């Protein structure tokens, strides 16, 4: 678990990385950060512009140090999300940064019919994989869209390019993870930690 101050540093690093790359094509090197930023963690960086999604890319698995993963994810979210054009310099002051730090994903071992009972909305994120198809939805997605646990499972399958009921198939792997979410209250403003298990609201 990160402290709030560490979460603030994570969001500032993401903004620094995106700004440096957009304005100067410079890759930020994480320096002078607390030890947690050297630990391998999964992370996603999400961009919003005036309330709308503007990019979201990250690493589901802990394959690199957190600091480097944040830098890469921020740049990729701003410049390489295939759903959006690259962020322009003039947009930077309108974009809110959000950093989601993931726990290690774990596969469900319960019978398939029990999975909707296992998913806790607002706490759990999901990864669905079958063959070359994979899809991930962060914990904050379900409360924003009003999904119940079964719909959340189905939408993760759709994200993977699979039928909505693919989670019922034993040949489909369903993993879950939890996350800490740190976000700016407004572009370049203070950072807070989001909680979706206690509040039914959120973004992404």
Instruction: State pLDDT tens for residues 117-148.
Output: 999 999 999 999 999 999 999 999 999 999 99
Q: What is the pTM of this model?
A: 0.89
C-alpha count within 13 angstroms, C-beta hemisphere, residue 67: 15
Q: Torsion angle of alpha carbons 25, 54, 152, 165, nearest 10°?
A: -80
Q: Which residues of the chain does CATH 3.30.700.20 include?
A: 4-103+179-194
Euclidean distance between CA atoms 137 and 152, whole angstroms: 8
pLDDT at 203: 34
Which pLDDT score is estimated for 196? 77
First to last CA, the chain: 21
Q: Which residues of 104-126 are buried (b: 16+ CB within 10 A; e: fewer)?
A: ebeebeeeeeebeeebebbbbbb
Q: Domain 106-177 belongs to what topology?
A: Dna Ligase; domain 1 (3.30.1490)
C-alpha span between 45 and 55 (Å, rounded):
8
- Phi and psi dihedrals of 189, rounded to 5? -110, -165
- Locate all alpha helices (DSSP H) within 34-189, ordered by sequence: 66-79, 115-118, 141-145, 149-159
DSSP state of 103: P
**So what's the pLDDT on residue 197?**
64
What number of other Cβ atoms are within 10 A of residue 197's Cβ?
Answer: 13
Query: Rounded to whole angstroms, how far apart are CA atoms 63 and 33?
Result: 19
Tokens of 193: 């930690």
Instruction: Give me the residues of the chain with pLDDT under 70, please.
Output: 197-204
d(CA 10, CA 2): 10
Q: Where in the chain is the domain with CATH 3.30.1490.150?
A: 106-177
Residue 176, φ and ψ in degrees, nearest 5? -130, 155
Domain 4-103+179-194 in CATH: superfamily? Hypothetical protein ph0010; domain 1 (3.30.700.20)
Q: Which helix (H) or strand (E) holds 177?
A: strand 173-177
Residues 6+ apart with CB under 8 A from 62: 39, 40, 41, 42, 102, 104
Which pLDDT value is given to residue 48?
Answer: 97
So what's the pLDDT on residue 86?
A: 97
């Amino acid at each position: 678990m990160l402290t709030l101050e560490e979460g603030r540093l994570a969001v500032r690093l993401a903004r620094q990385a995106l700004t440096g790359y957009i304005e100067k094509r410079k890759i930020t090197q994480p320096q002078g950060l607390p030890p947690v930023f050297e630990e391998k963690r999964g992370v996603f960086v999400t961009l919003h512009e005036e309330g709308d999604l503007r990019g979201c890319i990250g690493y589901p698995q802990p394959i690199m140090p957190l600091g480097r993963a944040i830098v890469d994810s921020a740049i990729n979210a701003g410049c390489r999300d295939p759903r959006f054009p690259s962020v322009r310099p003039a947009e930077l002051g309108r974009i809110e940064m959000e950093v989601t730090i993931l726990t290690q994903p774990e596969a469900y071992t319960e019978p398939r019919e029990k999975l909707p009972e296992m998913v806790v909305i607002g706490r759990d994120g999901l990864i669905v994989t079958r063959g070359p198809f994979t899809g991930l939805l962060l914990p904050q997605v379900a409360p924003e869209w009003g999904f119940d646990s079964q719909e959340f499972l189905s939408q993760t399958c759709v994200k993977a390019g699979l039928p909505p009921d693919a989670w019922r198939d034993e040949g489909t792997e369903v993993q879950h993870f939890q996350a800490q979410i740190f976000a700016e209250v407004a572009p370049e403003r203070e950072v807070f930690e989001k909680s979706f298990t206690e509040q039914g609201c959120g973004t992404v």
